[in-house]
Amino acid sequence: MRGFAGDAIRRLRANPAAVLALGVICTVVVATLLGPWLNPNNTETLDWLHVAARPGLQNAHWFGTDRLGRDLYARTLAGTRVSIAIGLVASILSILVGVSYGAISGYLGGRTDQAMMRIIEILSGLPLIFFVIFLTVIFGRSESLLFISIGAVGWLTMARIVRGQTLSIRQQDYIAAAVASGASSSRIIARHVVPNVIGPVIVYATLTVPQIILFESFLSFLGLGIQEPGASLGTLIAEGVGEMEAAPWMLLVPGSFLAVLLLCLNIFGDGLRDALDVREG
Amino acid sequence: MPATLCIDELSVSFAHRTGTVEAVDGVSLRIGPAECVGVVGESGSGKTQLFLAVMGLAGNARVRGSVRFEGKELLGATAPAINRVRGSKLTMIFQDPMTSLTPHLRIGTQLAEVLVCHSGLSWAEARDVAGRMLERVRIPEPQRRLGQYPHELSGGMRQRVMLAMSLLCGPALVIADEPTTALDVTIQAQIIELLRAMRGEAGTALALISHDLAVVAGLADRILVMYAGRIVENAVAAELFRQPRHPYTAELLKCVPSLSGPRLARLPTLAGQPPQPGDALQACPFAPRCPRAADRCRTERPLLTGASTSQVACHFPLS
């Protein structure tokens, strides 16, 4: 393989921490998808014989159970899956909205740019927690609302980054050449500007996923996110905190899943940034 | 014969903290079908801005006057109307081929895109045409080049690609903005040769912008000399070199080193500096450096007068 992407992959491979982090992320993702079939318990069955059981192999509750007797292994994997899904969906949403908004704003420039940037400043001035609380109060709690409220704020920084990149790309000769060859503004943005900002977009997106996972966990921890009987890492940790002294595994199992996942996503994002940033390479 | 490009009283000005700067100051010119017009001048004389304004690429500059291309007014036309002409009938080649191609698109894609945009060809047909065009600009192995990225090509090769791109839709006028400045001398000669051949084959008009008199001398039928945003002389190429009429042209020609003449200890240069943006201009901007300047040159603006093939903007032209 040759070219920019090939070089970037080669540089990424030379970074053992990033490769390891990617391996862990893949393992966790595969585990959340396949895990439920490896275990006889499901997320909602109450096992009255083993309430708040310790982790162990003897009774098929490998990570133990919570105080209702539900299997922590099944619930943690399900929660991780929900957290990752929210992280991915909200990131994709923020990429779609942020990239098009930023590229249009930066390319058109002038008053349009000023107006579009002021809108972003107003939106980013909103205190996010209050924003989410207002939305939940008005529309009631729902998962789709959670996606929307996180996505509504996630694209702001992405739009700023893309606009900044677009401003410098707009000055390039090949953009003038594209204009001179009669391409319309929309075609230039789609084919000559956006593909050129893809590097920083990928890097920022990989760093957005853990941010959003953390934010979702935070909301769920406060009781604003995923609701019972569903689970995300945040709700599991919130439950675990209540039993911290009597049954520490209820906090430690989802807590360590969250910590390892976030750590690996961040290490991988950093590795990706180093691989794509030619100036430092 | 109707002119291909007809520019009337075109001014390009920039807002500057000391006021407005007139990069192009009331320029009128005509380029006929299949005519090659050379535009020469120092850096900052406005020659590039003039043609960027024609292409609608002047950015945030203020453009006044009239630009008619094949009878249609371009200034103030809607974006779709301009884009129909731009890139198909009216094309431009830029100075630096290293940065004028989009780095992440293959050569074939970039060339084909122009045809898909303008001629409504399918991508497959457009690629075929692009391949044939690469052959016409004498790029070896055109089929392989179509699949390559710009960074895999040398500067001369990329300028040929730019030339091929400008010729794809059979343009009526190609504007070449210092097409050889960024290339080394042997490649320069090849590109000039190619431009010459292209004129012969396709009957395309060419506006050749350059500060290099030698480049222009070999190609142009007619030469416009610009100074401080104005045209100071307009003459048939051979006449201009044989008998320049504006003192600025005469001084410029004295500066060209000769291969056959006696070896000079020092190359002659023009005394003084060209006016900087924001400088207050005298009625004749060349007056401060002109050996023939008189009081009249500082009070009365010299207009471009004379027959259309021999015009000069000077109160005291050489004869």
- With respect to residue A148, please indicate whether it lies within any of the assigned structural domains: yes
The total of other beta-carbon atoms located within 10 Å of residue A123's CB is 14
CA-nearest residue of chain B to A177? Answer: B100
Instruction: Name the most confidently modeled range: A16-20, A72-76, A141-145.
Output: A16-20
- With respect to residue A56, please indicate whether it lies within any of the assigned structural domains: no
- Weakest-pLDDT range from A26-35, B146-155, B187-196, B268-277: B268-277
Q: Which residues of chain A make contact with B82, given a CB cutoff of 8 A?
A: 182
Give residue ranges of B with CB < 8 Å to any A CB.
55-57, 60, 79-80, 82-88, 91-92, 94, 96, 99-105, 113-114, 117-118, 149, 162, 165-166
Please give the Cα distance from B134 to B164 (Å, whole number): 6
pLDDT band at B233 (very low <50, low <70, confident <90, very high): very high
Q: What single DSSP character describes residue A1?
A: -
- Name residues whose C-beta falls within 8 Å of residue A98's C-beta, 6 or more positions apart in sequence: A154, A155, A156, A157, A158, A159, A161, A162
Q: Which residues of chain B make contact with A114, given a CB cutoff of 8 A?
A: none
Closest CA to B170 of B146, B201, B139: B201
What is the mean predicted confidence (pLDDT) over A47-61? 70
End-to-end CA distance of chain A: 19
Q: pLDDT tens digits for A225-235?
A: 777 777 888 88
Domain tally, chain B: 1
pLDDT band at B259 (very low <50, low <70, confident <90, very high): confident
Q: pLDDT tens digits for A201-218?
A: 888 888 888 888 888 888
* Summary count for chain B: helices (H), strands (E): 11, 11
Domain tally, chain A: 1
Share of chain B above pLDDT 90, in %: 27
- With respect to residue B296, please indicate whether it lies within any of the assigned structural domains: yes
CB of A125 less than 8 A from some CB of B: no
Q: What is the CATH number of the domain that holds A267?
A: 1.10.3720.10
CA-nearest residue of chain B to A195? Answer: B104
| Res. B37: pLDDT tops 90 | yes
To test the contact with chain A by mutation, choose from B60, B102, B111, B209 the residue with the greatest count of A C-beta atoms within 10 A, namely: B102
Residue A117's pLDDT is 94
- Integer CA distances (angstroms), A31 to A40, B70, B103, in order: 15, 68, 40
Between A165 and A248, residue with greater pLDDT: A165
- Weakest-pLDDT range from A30-34, B62-66, B228-232: A30-34
What is the mean predicted confidence (pLDDT) over B38-49? 88
Residue B209 β-bridge partners: B39, B177
| Res. A107: pLDDT tops 90 | yes
- With respect to residue B111, please indicate whether it lies within any of the assigned structural domains: no
Beta strands in chain B (DSSP E): 5-16, 19-31, 36-40, 62-69, 72-73, 90-93, 173-177, 205-210, 222-227, 230-236, 310-312
Looking at chain A from residue 167 to 186, which residues have their Cβ under 8 Å from any Cβ of chain B? Answer: 172-174, 176-185
| Res. A72: pLDDT tops 50 | yes
pLDDT band at A167 (very low <50, low <70, confident <90, very high): very high
Cβ within 8 Å, pair B103-A196: yes
- With respect to residue A46, please indicate whether it lies within any of the assigned structural domains: no
Between B309 and A51, residue with greater pLDDT: B309
User: What residue has token string 């105080």?
Assistant: A67
Does B179 sit behind a cis peptide bond, omega within 30 degrees of 0 on the bond before it?
no
Furthest-apart CA pair in chain A: how many Å?
77
pLDDT band at A3 (very low <50, low <70, confident <90, very high): low
Please give the Cα distance from B292 to B308 (Å, whole number): 24
What is the mean predicted confidence (pLDDT) over A150-173? 87
CB A17 within 8 A of CB A65: no
Average pLDDT over all residues of chain B: 87
For A184, the closest of B79, B91, B101 (CB atoms) is B79
The total of other beta-carbon atoms located within 10 Å of residue B136's CB is 18
- With respect to residue B93, please indicate whether it lies within any of the assigned structural domains: no
Residue A198: how many CA atoms within 13 Å on its side-chain side?
A: 12
| Amino acid present at B49 | Q
- Integer CA distances (angstroms), A269 to A92, A151, A206, in order: 16, 20, 5
- With respect to residue B281, please indicate whether it lies within any of the assigned structural domains: yes
- With respect to residue A52, please indicate whether it lies within any of the assigned structural domains: no
Residue A1's pLDDT is 39
- With respect to residue A113, please indicate whether it lies within any of the assigned structural domains: yes
Please give the Cα distance from B75 to B56 (Å, whole number): 8
Q: Which residues of A79-110 are buried (b: 16+ CB within 10 A; e: fewer)?
A: bbbbbbbbbbebbebbbebbbbbbbbbbbeee
Cβ within 8 Å, pair A182-B87: yes
ipTM of this complex prediction, to 2 decimal places: 0.80
Please give the Cα distance from B129 to B108 (Å, whole number): 10
| Res. B39: pLDDT tops 90 | yes
Q: Which residues of chain A make contact with B162, given a CB cutoff of 8 A?
A: 177
Residue B25: how many CA atoms within 13 Å on its side-chain side?
A: 22
Please give the Cα distance from B97 to B92 (Å, whole number): 12
Min Cα–Cα distance to chain B from A120, Å: 25
pLDDT band at A281 (very low <50, low <70, confident <90, very high): very low
pLDDT band at B270 (very low <50, low <70, confident <90, very high): confident
Q: What single DSSP character describes residue B222?
A: E
Q: pLDDT tens digits for B45-87?
A: 888 899 999 998 887 888 999 999 988 899 888 888 888 899 8
Show the domain range for B312: 246-257+267-319
Between A180 and A41, residue with greater pLDDT: A180
Q: Token digits for A51?
A: 């309430």
- With respect to residue B235, please indicate whether it lies within any of the assigned structural domains: no
| Res. B301: pLDDT tops 90 | no
Please give the Cα distance from B210 to B187 (Å, whole number): 16
Residue B68's pLDDT is 92
- With respect to residue B101, please indicate whether it lies within any of the assigned structural domains: no
CA-nearest residue of chain A to B148? Answer: A3
Residue A119's pLDDT is 93
User: What residue has token string 């609302």?
Assistant: A145
Q: pTM of the full predicted structure?
A: 0.78
Show the domain range for A30: 3-38+63-276
Query: For chain A, where are the alpha helices, taking DSSP H only?
Result: 3-13, 16-38, 72-108, 110-125, 128-139, 143-170, 173-180, 185-188, 198-221, 233-242, 249-276
What is the secondary structure of B21-82 as a DSSP string?
EEEEEEEEEEE-TT-EEEEE--TTSSHHHHHHHHTT--TT-EEEEEEEETTEE-TT--HHHH
Please give the Cα distance from A3 to A184 (Å, whole number): 28
pLDDT band at B234 (very low <50, low <70, confident <90, very high): very high
| Res. B244: pLDDT tops 50 | yes
Furthest-apart CA pair in chain B: how many Å?
66
- With respect to residue A258, please indicate whether it lies within any of the assigned structural domains: yes
Q: Which residues of chain B make contact with A4, given a CB cutoff of 8 A?
A: 104
Cβ within 8 Å, pair A174-B104: no
Min Cα–Cα distance to chain A from B135, Å: 20
- Name residues whose C-beta falls within 8 Å of residue B92's C-beta, 6 or more positions apart in sequence: A177, A180, B51, B55, B57, B166, B174, B175, B176, B177
Q: Token digits for A163?
A: 């606009």
| Res. A6: pLDDT tops 70 | yes
φ, ψ at A65 (rounded to 5°)? -130, 165
| Res. A279: pLDDT tops 70 | no
End-to-end CA distance of chain B: 30
Q: pLDDT tens digits for B118-162?
A: 888 899 999 999 999 998 888 889 999 999 999 899 888 898 899
Min Cα–Cα distance to chain A from B12, Å: 18
